[in-house]
Structure 1
């Protein structure tokens, strides 16, 4: 079986083998292509690999940016002064290519004709295909957020329980805990990974703690082995918020369940909100399926096996679109990994000079976002972002501008007024995101690199 959980470092070393398509394999493939060598791979039957596997079967030259028909885009200069288009951070009109838009429209049209607009056969087909890719039992949900709620309930989180989370995630993480009637408890993060620190998480455990909910922020895998040890020492369950980490090697290996997202902005984005709960545990998978659909037994109409559940299964039209787009999943992840390595190389001088801190090009990353840091705090960061925008025409973003414990609601002030998270807070004042999306062109990326060099060096002087 082709899996992302069984892939290991070295999957893509010369000599090939069956292409697994997980983040370790893609990392190795990027390094091989950059070095001008691509090993021979055996064909993979996994649907998620189809487009990339087809290139590995005989068109490997297209994996390089220098090929005339490269899988990477390169834009021509336009007629504006200097021939420079603005570089948007995340252009909504380019989330799907024209070809992908046609595939999505045709898939939706097929389900529209059948009238199967909620449940239907595409959902089960997509779950089976995703299980083939991940090597895990899969339940597709109506969103990543719903998937988190379902997973937490399925592992036994009840009203009044505590769940340990980081503070530098999207609100869906804390909201999933709150939706269960539980209490989110904040722990600090590791400075290099930006993900939940196992030591801080352990220190946050109380007699009411039921689970740990780490987030693979920006697509980087948290230290799951250490978090599992922490959880086991206290008898806790572990659910991974892997909504930004589709395809990362090791997802759900050290947890009870993991949740991925197919929001249109994600690496594998659909035409609406969707997600999935992944687990290796058959009994837990059955409970997940019940909680995701009103608590019903999956094979007995309206017969409950759980006291309550959600209406949180993926809709048939969205699942049909997912099946149409799934063959490009690992090719998209390859592009992102290649572009990430290109950023690391292109900005290496600034990193070496201490003017910009870059993420390491590691194999445990889906590269959903590319995050850089600047010394000097938020004022310096905003000066650099302004120069990049005004002089280079490049849009950047602070993706999560308000940390969980710094939200100003009565609930947040009551729960988190005493939270002290020095690493999380320091990272938050220095980090920002630069463009990295499925359709980012090489020309645009060159513009980003050029603009950062100019802005950082000018600001430094």
Structure 2
């Protein structure tokens, strides 16, 4: 049985906002975005040496020309040649510089023939731990596999219950089911993330773990959830697949799981993920479970009866090393664009037409959700008008809640009244375009279209 150690906070938490150097995580970017929005030169002279910070460090060295009066040149494209604003254009997921880096990495793998195993995996794991401030990382073939691996490594199995939200991607639920355990759904708070009080109300004698999801890139209330888990002796695992770079990831839980799917803030050229943890014992067990039950470092020698073939391929690891230098810069782009949305749409929030998220230090803005407060059917009509009249594509990213999926309905595990906040938020949520390559002109077009369509809908 693994010992549950819940640290009190992330390394460096005692640092003040006046520190000369920032870490490149969401809290540091939050302060940088604040400086830029205020039109002042950042008081922080630099950024930490982690590989993930490399491109943002270059920008900061030239910040007078690139960040004032607003980010431009290598930070943002201002104009747009596109006739439509697509929600997530796949052909623009990587910039020219990122494509070149990925190509160099893949060409290197072609020369060596080290497609599945090689030094790139351990090098990428080391780069992850350096950036996240977490001592152990186990690279996997996907975020879903990482969830299954860590739950199995923690001993979650048949007869156990795992408390989780209903508004996540199916991988969260499927990972619990893959272990033979039962997903138990609890309600969320106004940030779309698990509410500690709702979790505590769902705990039974069979509860083994709590599995919060940092939805949209916003960290759940990990302090509150940790307190609940400590009171009841439960495991705590973060689904941080949408929160790469969020301050505090894996600092309050037994482990966190990341996804490097191409659509995430940081993605490779395929599917990949990782388990990150402060526990050397758990990291060792994850390595065993992730590769056929083999003892790490011993070829084809089993340490456990069962394991998966779910380690990250060396090809994707090398590509990840090529793309990782752009992570903090891309997260800065997303946070700055989120701040622009919040500023521009504030009058609609003040009039009660829209509910807006908050700009907080623990958010990496994987998605930008708004709450559409119009008459019944107004959200869907608004979405149709945005596309038909203005060529602006929006999305409802997860259109069906877990307990409302047909295969789940017969299980009878969720009372109709159990998830009022989840269902209320879900009935009104709409996601606006927000991705690394979104131009300022495209964002302005989204904002203008939103005002016009809302005016006609009221």
Flag whether TM exceeds 0.5 (same fold): yes
Paired position in structure 1 for 2:45: 41
- For 1:60 and 1:297, the matched residues in 2 are separated by 52
- SS of residue matched to 1:270: coil
Paired position in structure 2 for 1:54: 58
Q: Select between 278-287 and 34-43 the one with higher mean Cα deviation.
A: 34-43
Paired position in structure 1 for 2:31: 28
TM-score normalised per structure 2: 0.94
- SS of residue matched to 1:259: strand
Paired position in structure 2 for 1:418: 415
Paired position in structure 1 for 2:73: 69
- For 1:145 and 1:60, the matched residues in 2 are separated by 42
- 2:185–2:414 Cα contact (<8 Å) kept: no
Q: Deviations over 1:377-419 (max 9, x none)?
A: 650101111221122210000000000000012x542143535
Select which of 85, 90, 95 maps to 1:97: 95
- For 2:361 and 2:303, the matched residues in 1 are separated by 41
Residues 191-230 of structure 1: pairs in structure 2 closer than 5 A: 192-230=190-228
Paired position in structure 2 for 1:81: none
Paired position in structure 1 for 2:261: 263
Paired position in structure 1 for 2:141: 142
Deviation at 1:9, TM superposition (A): 8.9
Deviation at 1:250, TM superposition (A): 1.0
Paired position in structure 2 for 1:108: 106
- 2:24–2:47 Cα contact (<8 Å) kept: no
- For 1:121 and 1:346, the matched residues in 2 are separated by 47
Select which of 306, 309, 316 maps to 2:304: 306
Q: Does 1:359 align with 2:357?
A: yes
- For 2:47 and 2:186, the matched residues in 1 are separated by 44
- 2:291–2:309 Cα contact (<8 Å) kept: yes
Deviation at 1:294, TM superposition (A): 1.5
Q: Cα distance 1:434–1:17, how it changes in 2: closer, same or farther (>3 A)?
A: same
- 1:377–1:430 Cα contact (<8 Å) kept: no
Select which of 232, 235, 248 maps to 1:234: 232
- 1:296–1:302 Cα contact (<8 Å) kept: yes
- SS of residue matched to 2:354: coil
Q: Select between 322-331 and 56-65 the one with higher mean Cα deviation.
A: 56-65
Q: Cα distance 1:394–1:8, how it changes in 2: closer, same or farther (>3 A)?
A: farther
- 1:74–1:443 Cα contact (<8 Å) kept: yes
- For 1:7 and 1:331, the matched residues in 2 are separated by 21
Paired position in structure 1 for 2:182: 183
- SS of residue matched to 2:451: helix
Paired position in structure 2 for 1:344: 342
- SS of residue matched to 1:103: helix
Paired position in structure 1 for 2:379: 381
- 1:173–1:241 Cα contact (<8 Å) kept: yes
- For 2:380 and 2:61, the matched residues in 1 are separated by 46
Paired position in structure 1 for 2:314: 316
- 1:8–1:24 Cα contact (<8 Å) kept: no
Deviation at 1:138, TM superposition (A): 0.6
Q: Deviations over 1:212-263 (max 9, x none)?
A: 0000000000001111111111111010000000111111121100001110
Consecutive unaligned residues of structure 2, counting only runs of 5 or more, are 1-8
- For 1:156 and 1:377, the matched residues in 2 are separated by 47
Paired position in structure 2 for 1:6: 11
Q: Cα distance 1:58–1:317, how it changes in 2: closer, same or farther (>3 A)?
A: same
Q: Deviations over 1:137-188 (max 9, x none)?
A: 1111100000100111111101221111100000000000011111111111
- For 1:323 and 1:260, the matched residues in 2 are separated by 16
- For 1:356 and 1:9, the matched residues in 2 are separated by 36
Q: Cα distance 1:66–1:225, how it changes in 2: closer, same or farther (>3 A)?
A: closer
- Number of positions where the alignment pairs a residue of Structure 1 with one of Structure 2: 447
- 1:127–1:140 Cα contact (<8 Å) kept: yes
Paired position in structure 2 for 1:369: 367
Q: Cα distance 1:178–1:60, how it changes in 2: closer, same or farther (>3 A)?
A: farther
- 1:387–1:455 Cα contact (<8 Å) kept: yes
- For 1:267 and 1:415, the matched residues in 2 are separated by 36
